[in-house]
Amino acid sequence: MGEKTVQKNPVDMTVKIGGLTLQNPVMTASGTFGYGGEYAPLMEISRLGAMVTKTITLEPRLGNPQPRIWELPYGMLNSIGLANIGVENFIGRALPQSVKFGIPVIVNIAGKDEGDYGELIRILDGEEGVAAYELNVSCPNVKKGGLLFGADSEAVGRITADCRKATDKPIIVKLTPNVADIAPIAKSAEAAGADGLTVANTVLGMAVDIETRKPRIPFVTAGYSGPGIKPVNLAKVYQARQAVKIPIIGCGGIMNWPDAVEYIITGAAAVQVGSATYKNPRIAIEVIEGIERYLIGKGVDSIGVLTASLYIVH
């Protein structure tokens, strides 16, 4: 019998973020995929480029009062408030489940104080299976930290620098779209040693019950996600791409593969699929397949050729 022929993928879908290599540019967004195991019966997690965990903090958090989600015609409001099991429980209970799928696990971390981020990394860094860190300096649903850090370029720089001292693993900073100009914040993260940026988190929003005249969400404001924010975050990716050289991960309102391709053309090396997963648990896999078909149809042999290929007529 002759040798078995190994069929090669006609398109190079690999992406590098710092020292991290992804088999394709599609990952899950933090807060929308739990710790991975929850979706195992519904999709082939091993086909993802990477998995980003739900946000982890030093201590367990109960999160904000209910109701914490309000559905809208073009997306949803959420004010979960970073509810999570805390870092020690994550290491003991969740991380072993997250790493079993054979793809990079990017641990999303957040803190009430600037020093919490570096402390979290110092606790996590020796654990097997942690491939990289995503610094959540942009959550709009907490009273301390989050957006208060993310809107301040100096705070972002300090947090990133402290985390850089704590690890040699890739650091990705998740930025907020709730600023007039994202460029100074992106530059600050890059200068402090970030390997990549996630652009961007949810847009600040709210909804009101006109019968009771009360906010739909007890926290009052919330993070708005879904297709309605894609034009906003797409513009933020464009602005950030002009400001920095490190890879950008596009996030916000990706509901299908053409949405993902828009982000990549605009300047993202990779993308995160978030709230669309609630409607279709397999959407991230469909996005991977769609991007690959698009590249083949265009005669492009590498995803890198597409990144930041936006054609602007002056």
Q: Decide if 214 is inside a domain.
A: no
The mean pLDDT of 149-170, rounded to a whole number, is: 97
Active site residues: 139
| Predicted local confidence at residue 146, as pLDDT | 73
Quick check: 1 pLDDT over 60? Answer: no
* pLDDT per residue as tens digits for the range 180-189: 999 999 999 9
The mean pLDDT of 136-161, rounded to a whole number, is: 91
| Predicted local confidence at residue 312, as pLDDT | 87
Average pLDDT over all residues of the chain: 95
CATH code, 190: 3.20.20.70
pLDDT > 70 in the chain, percent: 97
| Predicted local confidence at residue 8, as pLDDT | 62
Quick check: 150 pLDDT over 80? Answer: yes
DSSP designation for 256: S
Q: Decide if 98 is inside a domain.
A: yes
Quick check: 160 pLDDT over 60? Answer: yes
126, exposed or middle or buried, with CB in 10 Å at 0-12, 13-18, 19+?
exposed
* pLDDT per residue as tens digits for the range 29-60: 999 999 988 899 999 999 999 999 999 999 99
| Predicted local confidence at residue 38, as pLDDT | 87
Q: Decide if 4 is inside a domain.
A: no
Indicate the pLDDT class of residue 10, thresholds 50, 70 and 90.
confident
The count of other CB atoms within 10 Å of the CB of residue 41 is 7
Name the residue range of residue 127's domain: 15-63+82-202+226-306
Q: Decide if 72 is inside a domain.
A: no
Indicate the pLDDT class of residue 287, thresholds 50, 70 and 90.
very high
What 3-state DSSP class applies to 79? coil
Q: Decide if 93 is inside a domain.
A: yes
- Number of folded domains that form the chain: 1
> Greatest CA separation found in the chain?
77
Q: Decide if 167 is inside a domain.
A: yes
Indicate the pLDDT class of residue 7, thresholds 50, 70 and 90.
low
* pLDDT per residue as tens digits for the range 193-238: 999 999 999 999 999 999 999 999 999 999 999 999 999 999 999 9
| Predicted local confidence at residue 145, as pLDDT | 78
Enter the pTM of the model. Answer: 0.95
What residues does 171 pair with on adjacent strands? 133
Cβ-contact 222, 71 below 8 angstroms: no
Q: Decide if 213 is inside a domain.
A: no
What 3-state DSSP class applies to 91? helix
Q: What's the rounded Cα separation, in Å, for the pair 117 and 267?
A: 27
Q: What's the rounded Cα separation, in Å, for the pair 119 and 100?
A: 25
Q: Decide if 180 is inside a domain.
A: yes
Q: How many degrees, rounded to 5, is the angle at CA 109 between CA 246 and CA 155?
A: 65
What residues does 51 pair with on adjacent strands? 105
| Predicted local confidence at residue 291, as pLDDT | 98
